[in-house]
Homo-oligomer: A and B are copies of this chain.
Amino acid sequence: MYNVSEINYYWTEIYYHLHLPHKEKITHQVIRILQHIEKNNGIGIGEVATYLNVSHNTASENVKRIIQKGYLQKQRDLSDERKVILCLTDTGKDVLYRNTSLDEEKLKKVLNQFSSKDRQMIEQGFRTLSEGVKKCM
């Protein structure tokens, strides 16, 4: 018997202690948009609207503001020039990283405490779960 609540507790503890410092003011919507674009190719305004469950004009305006901040870039789809294709700028990747990832310096420090066997187990656990997630979802 395994306990998913327990895993969730570990999950939040790890993030609480290892997240990066939050520099920029940013909302969840913006992070969701950045992450959705980063994790999928060829995302346009329409897909953003559907994903966030907001109207097209809201998505368009939200994306415009994110472009103004320099986090996103626009291209036109060559096969259908009505469509926009969005991708992250380097700044956008950096912002997304700082708001969703673990601080690698802290993580290194923590991992250094462990035996190499334990480290391997941790890494293997994450890898296995991540790969299982992609197969299943």
Contacts and interface: CB of A to CB of B under 8 A. Distances in A.
A79 interface: no
Contacts of A102: 4, 7-8, 11
Contact of A10 (B8, B12, B130): B130
Given A18-B137, A104-B5, A126 B27 contact: no
Contact of A121 (B29, B106, B125): B125
Main secondary structure of the interface of A (DSSP, over half): helix
Q: How many copies does the complex hold?
A: 2
Interface residues of A, number: 60
Contacts of A3: 123
Nearest to A111: B2
A108 B4 contact: yes
Interface string A9-26: 111111111100010011
Contacts of A110: 129, 132-133, 136-137
